[in-house]
Amino acid sequence: MNDELNAAQAATTPEMPPASPDMLPASPEMVPPPDMLQQSLELIQAGGPVVIILIAMSVIALTIILAKLWQFASMRLGDTRTTERALRLWRTGRADEALALAQRSANPAAQVVTVALRGMRRGLPEERIREEAMRHGEVLVESLRGWFRPLEVISSLAPLLGLFGTVQGMIEAFRQMEAAGNAVNPSVLSGGIWVALLTTAVGLAVAIPTVAALNWLERRTERTAHRIDIALSRVFSDELTDFHQEEASHAGHGFRPAVAPGE
């Protein structure tokens, strides 16, 4: 009788499907590792205030670098053809076309040429034109150099802050070792040492790209100053030397007043 009841119950009970791997409880080996954000938070917590300060400095440096890149692109620092064409038009007596071409470009050298050509069209004294064009060029170059000082400070302070954090961590590690006495745990000491070295690594990671970006920005600014110098000298000169040849001959010199032949 019992066998008949069990058979009837088995016939009416729906068969359960086999458990899929997704339905099984996760084993320790199947648990995914912490994501990158969690690891970053752990490193920040281990590094302490020094790492937080370095991260803030890196954000400031990145913001300045991106802003300078946008400024350089908007001022079209690589546009040398417009200035060259405007100067050639000016030397061939087509002053109106030269002025119209130069004033359409945002390049600093073209802007300085625009100031000089406007003054010469108005018949102003050459000395006054040169002085005004030089002043305008210095303003443009100084705007390109803006915010270089914070980048210099960050590139100098970041390694020092990292070293400071390392020294603090080493002091704490050896203090714990002294407090432990004879029962020193090597794992505790090694853990304190790697946490201490973490700040130096973060400081170098902030300083190295900042220094590289700063050097590149300074080089672009120096080349722009050279081009302004060359363009301004050609406005008041009868020479028809190629613009790029003059730029190469002026390499290594900063922005300086253009001197007309014979002065």
- Give per-10-residue mean pLDDT for the chain (263 aa): 51 51 47 64 80 95 97 94 93 91 94 94 91 95 96 97 91 79 70 83 96 97 95 78 50 43 37
Spatial contact of 175 and 227, defined as CB atoms under 8 Å apart: no
**pLDDT given for residue 129 in this prediction:** 93
> How many beta carbons lie within 10 A of that of residue 206, not counting itself?
27
> DSSP assignment, residue 31?
S
Rounded distance, CA 228 to CA 115, Å? 12
Spatial contact of 150 and 189, defined as CB atoms under 8 Å apart: no
Alpha helices, H only, 75-147: 81-91, 95-103, 108-121, 126-145
**pLDDT given for residue 258 in this prediction:** 41
Which residue bears the tokens 């001959």? 249
Rounded distance, CA 205 to CA 61, Å? 12
Residue 190 included in any domain: yes
Instruction: Tell me which residue range forms the domain holding 114.
Output: 49-248
| pTM exceeds 0.85 for this model | no
Nearest CA to 137 among 44, 67, 245, 232?
232
Residue 254 included in any domain: no
Residue 159 included in any domain: yes
Nearest CA to 158 among 86, 71, 55?
55
Residue 198 included in any domain: yes
**pLDDT given for residue 35 in this prediction:** 76
Residue 149 included in any domain: yes
Residue 232 included in any domain: yes
- What is the sign, positive or negative, of the torsion defined by CA atoms of 249, 255, 256, 262? positive
Spatial contact of 61 and 206, defined as CB atoms under 8 Å apart: yes
Q: How many structural domains are present in the chain?
A: 1
**Identity of the amino acid at 263:** E
**pLDDT given for residue 255 in this prediction:** 45
Environment class of 201 (CB within 10 Å of its CB; exposed 0-12, middle 13-18, buried 19+)? middle
Residue 25 included in any domain: no
> How many beta carbons lie within 10 A of that of residue 107, not counting itself?
24
- 109: helix, strand or coil: helix
Residue 164 included in any domain: yes
- 137: helix, strand or coil: helix
User: In whole angstroms, how far apart are CA 41 and each of 49, 110, 169, 193?
Assistant: 13, 50, 18, 19
Spatial contact of 215 and 68, defined as CB atoms under 8 Å apart: no
**pLDDT given for residue 188 in this prediction:** 66
**pLDDT given for residue 212 in this prediction:** 97
Rounded distance, CA 144 to CA 136, Å? 13
